[in-house]
Structure 1
Amino acid sequence: MRGLQAEGGSLEWREQPAVELQDGQVRVAIKAAGLNRADLLQKAGMYPPPAGVTPVLGLECAGTVLEVKGNSRWSPGDRVCGLLAGGGMAEEVVVDGRHLLPVPAELSWAEAAALPEVFATAWLNVFELGAAQPGEKVLIHAGASGVGTAAIQICKALGNPCWVTLGSEDKLQACIALGATGGALRQNGIMALQSEGPFNVVLDPVGGTYAEHHLDLIALDGRWVVIGLMGGREAKLDLGKMLVKRIQLTGSTLRTRSDNYKADLLARMEERLWPLFAKGELKPMVAKTFSFEQADAAFAELAEDKIVGKVILVKE
């Protein structure tokens, strides 16, 4: 079985040892795999996989069930998509069966592979950790990203007006078409949104460069959830403003969560969001697809940061 690994900043397909199934695990033949910024960081040597996790890249995939061990809701031939700690960019993967979800009807393999990581991240951080209530305002940074486009759609479906920050007018218009109320170009500064606030929840993959401004943009009892550090890891904050506004600042990562945590998260997400996929209110955003053999080009496309939605590797 071949899998895609990163070595010295380069990508290489390597033969992987066979993995024996344990109780509760499922073997999946991979049809498509989604790219995430975590994969770019791992390729650059800046985000190693957690201890015990395969070095094969890929945090989400879609495919067909090949084999099941123990009691399981899955059977060979089932169409599934999976949330992974690694291993999605391969011919097959062994995964905890609780970390798989049924592919919503009518979705292609590419669309299914664009679903697990970004919708789980958006759901967890805006609606569980961020506790967004209907009608509350949400600010989404990197709004044209996979997580951003997922968060916009969920906000629209659940009655939360949302605003975005991003890098171009074309991206802004695409996000408004998805359901965002408005937004600001990052080159103009996020304080351009002050008249639209205050915001009850902020989904923040940027970190450092935006941090001090959030204290002026966030509402009383607001929730600020940091999920990335694209703008650096250091910031100067006026803690007096945080205290007076009772702002809750939460750091959040998903990859290193326990198997049980992920299983419970996906179960709640399936209950709340899968009916919305069936109604057409939610849809994964696939910007471009590449074959598995075009992995270098796919990684370069994501790194350019010009797309709206996801880059997906598809098995030909």
Structure 2
Amino acid sequence: MKKLILFIVICISFVGFSQEDKARLLAEKTANNYVYEANELVSEDFIAAEMAYRKALSKQSDNIAGLYNLGNSYYEKGNFEEALYRHQQTAKLATSKEAKHKAFHNMGNVLMQNKKCKEAVEAYKDALRNNPLDDETRYNLALAKECAKQQEEENKDDENKEDKDNSEDKKDEEKENKDDKNQEDQEDKEGDEKEDKKEEGKDEEDKKDDKKPEDKKDENKKGDKEKEDKQKPQPKPGQLSPQQIKSLLEAMNNQEQKVQEKMNAEKQKGIKIKTEKDW
């Protein structure tokens, strides 16, 4: 009885395992058929080929041939982002070294197209770890290293140029700040000078206001006298002043008086004076 039960359990397990294995094999076969169809279409109708590859992956998501060939088709069309993604999936899901080697090799090619030479070096190294004898991968690795070295030198040059530009910009900024400061100092100096002059003028006004009444009175008298002198008629060029005319008249009167006195003296002496002209 026990043997019979054990036999029945074994049979049931075998039947169950066969159904799962049969379903897996069927999915794999269907996926491979789609991959084969896509491979036939890819050179003539990329859209139809892409659709066939996606159908294959919907039936079997880890179909290495479908992932790898879809990645290659994207690479041929220049869609490097999708190509890189599909080859990364291939490298992750592949179980054989040969499949991994091909996936990493093509990842390196995509990265080189994207000018990511340093990352391409690492991809080619991973490819050689899975197949050290591939001369094509070794050659591509040498190219990637040279490209990475050149990019590194260019980056250093760019950094040095940027540092130089930043240094020059800093010098220009310092010079501009210095000029602005000098201008501000000059403006402050001019403002101080104006303020000093204003204060000096204020001090002079205060001094005038602080003068004694006597001083102000003397200044007023002096000002009145100068004003009076200015109001007097001034002699014009070539004319005698009133004072000069007065002095001249006095001199003439004195002279006339002297002549009169002399004539009176002569009359008193009896001097004969001619009244008629001689013939």
**TM-score of the superposed pair, with normalisation by structure 1:** 0.21
Higher helix share: 2
Higher strand share: 1
Max Rg structure: 2
